[in-house]
Amino acid sequence: MNQQNIDYVLRSVEQRDIRFVRLWFVDILGRLKNFAISPEDLEVAFEEGIGFDGSAIEGFATEENYKHFDEIAALYDEAKAAAAEEDKQKEARLAEKRAEEEAELARRKAEKAGYLLNVGAELEYYYFPDEHTPEPLDNVGYFDLSVSDAARDLRRNTVLTLEKMSVPVEYTFHAAGRSQHGMSLRHAEALSMSDAITTAKLIIKQQAYESGCHASFMPKPLAGEDGSAMFLCQSLFDHDGNNVFWGEGDEKYHLSDVAKHYMAGILAHAREISAITNPTVNSYKRITTGGDSVPQYATWGLRNRASMVRIPVYKPGKQLSTRIELRSPDPMANPYLVNAVTLAAGLDGIERKLELPPEATAETLKLTDRQMLEAGYTPLPRSLKEALDVFEDSQFMKDALGEHIHSFFLKKKRDEWHKFESTITEWEIKHYLANS
């Protein structure tokens, strides 16, 4: 963060009489952590970072490896401060840009190759009466304008709060499922977008709590309703500000060879990255029951909602908006890791000049699973266990994430799967208890 921005933040904190500055970051699994400092410590924090005991945070240093790490510093290269009224006390939430180590390495690799990754995001989520009752609060559908849209004011207040925190929202809307909602965040550099997603999820949940309900980013909370996604629109820019995904000679897709190689890299590593893009047991309920809007194969297509990578419609004169849309991730994924591994996969495709498989049209996706396999399309994992098996054997993922993150993530998610496997579900009781 340059000195001019630091001075602006320090001046804003003083002018707004902010008494506490909250620093937050995520652990490897994407769970938000935070601590607060006084304004007097803020300038030192910018210059030196803040040291804290990381032994109790999963994936950070533990007591047994203190001989290697005395403390973990919360370092950040950019920060934003915003004032909010809570319990009659002014407090700032300083959204810490503690770039995940591997995400930062991926960014530097892209920069070395002459690229900057820009990302736009669309988050989907549900509002429920409370955290124990997954019941819809309305019967409104996709983009409906209805007086029964109970959360309309809640969405508006959430957007206004995010704007105060310098998180730009393009639009918000009622999504397809009953009580499901969506929010589109304006594109930014990948690390900044990961920060924005993390902040948006917190504020969405906080505003819901203050309104007497619960916001859930669970990928598939209701059977029979749409699952929730975290759609990511990606594009690469060069150091002169040109969108290198734009292809002037491609009249159908308007994509450059760089863009096509990037897409091919993501598709080539689709199964390997699935544990990161879809990291929970519940993630695969969305994928296996998603219908015509959720990708089940490593496919790409123009305006095809069921493709893993979709090509949005090109608007003449909007070359800078040329992008691809990654549709497989869900909102329980760690956005820092998702952007890191998809960037690594795309760069691998560019470096090796990988070619795209045939486009998947709407007709293609009507084929049976057997026909899709015979046509050469690669299926995405259908369970967390399958995704973890692929993840464990992937040298690409070990290189992309680093040995520590790879092994820690694998262990925690294996534990999660084993707990699920040993759980007796309501479905089993209903179907087997009386008939056994």
Report pLDDT digits (tens) over 186-218: 999 999 999 999 999 999 999 999 999 999 999
**Alpha-carbon distance 360 to 267, whole Å?**
12
Q: Among 97, 112, 128, give the residue marking a domain's end.
A: 97
> In 3-state terms, what secondary structure has residue 378?
coil
For residue 49, what pLDDT is reported? 80
Q: Look at the block and give the residue holding tokens 């009466």.
A: 129
Do 199 and 309 belong to one domain? yes
Q: Is residue 119 part of a domain?
A: yes
Q: What is residue 227's DSSP assignment?
A: P
Do 353 and 369 belong to one domain? yes
Do 64 and 115 belong to one domain? no
Q: Is residue 327 part of a domain?
A: yes
In this prediction, residue 117 has a pLDDT band, given cuts at 50, 70 and 90, of very high
Q: What angle do CA 296, 302, 306 make, to 5 degrees?
A: 20
**Alpha-carbon distance 276 to 402, whole Å?**
14
Q: Is residue 435 part of a domain?
A: no
Q: Note the maximum CA span of the chain.
A: 72
Q: Each residue of 411-427: pLDDT tens digit? A: 999 999 999 999 999 99
Q: Is residue 431 part of a domain?
A: no
**Strand 32-37 relative to strand 309-311: parallel, antiparallel, unpaired?**
unpaired
For residue 79, what pLDDT is reported? 38
Closest CA to 94 of 69, 119, 71, 76: 76
Counted domains in the chain: 2
Do 207 and 323 belong to one domain? yes
Structure tokens that stand for 223 in this block? 């059977």
**Residues paired with 216 in a beta bridge:** 126
Q: Among 79, 97, 115, give the residue marking a domain's end.
A: 97
Looking up residue 220, the CATH number of its domain turns out to be 3.30.590.10
Cβ density class 241-273: b for 16+ within 10 Å, e for less: eebbbbbeeeeebbbbebbbbbbbbbbbbbbbb
For residue 58, what pLDDT is reported? 67
Q: Among 41, 71, 97, give the residue marking a domain's end.
A: 97
Hey, which of 152-156, 343-347, 367-371 has the most confident mean pLDDT?
A: 343-347
Do 158 and 141 belong to one domain? yes
Do 87 and 107 belong to one domain? no
Closest CA to 394 of 275, 308, 282: 275
**Alpha-carbon distance 423 to 426, whole Å?**
10
**Alpha-carbon distance 191 to 338, whole Å?**
11
**Structural contact between residues 23 and 72, judged by C-beta atoms closer than 8 angstroms:** no
Looking up residue 80, the CATH number of its domain turns out to be 3.10.20.70
Q: What is residue 195's DSSP assignment?
A: H
Residue type, 97: K
In this prediction, residue 111 has a pLDDT band, given cuts at 50, 70 and 90, of confident
State the helix-helix crossing angle for 101-112 and 335-352, rounded to 10 degrees. Answer: 30
Do 258 and 162 belong to one domain? yes
What distances in angstroms separate CA 283 from CA 181, 220, 243, 305, 384, one per listed residue? 18, 7, 32, 18, 8
Q: What is residue 380's DSSP assignment?
A: P
Structure tokens that stand for 412 in this block? 């925690």
Number of C-beta neighbours around residue 330 at 10 A: 27
Do 69 and 157 belong to one domain? no
For residue 86, what pLDDT is reported? 36
Do 197 and 90 belong to one domain? no
> In 3-state terms, what secondary structure has residue 6?
helix
Name the residue with higher pLDDT: 343 or 83.
343
Q: What is residue 429's DSSP assignment?
A: I
Do 31 and 48 belong to one domain? yes
Structure tokens that stand for 328 in this block? 């497989």
Range of the domain at 81: 3-97
Do 234 and 158 belong to one domain? yes
Do 213 and 347 belong to one domain? yes
> In 3-state terms, what secondary structure has residue 124?
strand
User: Half-sphere exposure (CA, 13 Å, Cβ side) for 173?
Assistant: 13
Q: Is residue 428 part of a domain?
A: no
